[in-house]
Amino acid sequence: MGDLILTTYDWVPEPPRGFVRDIRVRWALEEAGLPYRVESTPFRGRIAGHFAHQPFGQVPWLTDGDISIFESGAILLHLGNRSDALLPADPRGRSEAIEWLFAALNSVEMASLPWSLMVISGDAGDTPAWKRFNEFLEVRLQHLEPVLARREWLAGAFSVADILMADVLRLVDRFDRLKGHPACHDYVARATARPSFMKAHADQMAHFASG
């Protein structure tokens, strides 16, 4: 294990600031109290070296010594192996956290991302495509609601599963889409009230403001 370096863009336009996925990694690193530094890669015009770390030319990626990891979920799992504050040590709790981490990405984000993209692009009109994507998200939120009404965090103690789920839900909460899903809304409020999130968010905002 070596020095932890998180790479994100040097700058992004204002709308996505506070929501760029490096926030997930910053949040986990802050939560675990692991020392790290942040480096930048150009947003306007991808350099060749970028693709060596992130084959789609996206961010974030993390280097841990000579290991380079892309995909926010994979990065959080990697960090989970370095800290019990991110992944429970007991096998049952660990496997519960991992299943919810994948649920956040592969069941909820799969519905929330197209929904958000349609809202951002101004395509949230009275069209069959919008109705389909809105319903797709609604069904996911309806199933998540009783789960979050019963528990504070997804897998016992706060874990990387909560970082991902809260961040995924935060994107639709931004457009008031959790109205009617109070447990989901309260969960996001609870998660984002953590000092680790507030620091990660402030640091990301400062990073892009100075880029």
Ligand X SMILES: N[C@@H](CCC(=O)N[C@@H](CS)C(=O)NCC(=O)O)C(=O)O
The binding site for ligand X (CB under 6 A) comprises: 20-21, 57-59, 71-72
- Could you tell me the smallest distance in angstroms from the CB atom of residue 199 to ligand X? 19
Bridge-based pairing of strands 4-9 and 37-41 is parallel
Give the residue with the Cβ less far from ligand X, 110 or 157: 110
Residue of this chain nearest to ligand X (CB atom): 58
- Could you tell me the smallest distance in angstroms from the CB atom of residue 21 to ligand X? 4
Give the residue with the Cβ less far from ligand X, 72 or 112: 72
Give the residue with the Cβ less far from ligand X, 71 or 138: 71
User: Which letter does DSSP use for residue 8 in this model?
Assistant: E
Give the residue with the Cβ less far from ligand X, 69 or 145: 69
AA letter at 13: P
Burial of 5 (0-12, 13-18, 19+ CB in 10 A): middle
- Could you tell me the smallest distance in angstroms from the CB atom of residue 22 to ligand X? 7
- Could you tell me the smallest distance in angstroms from the CB atom of residue 149 to ligand X? 27
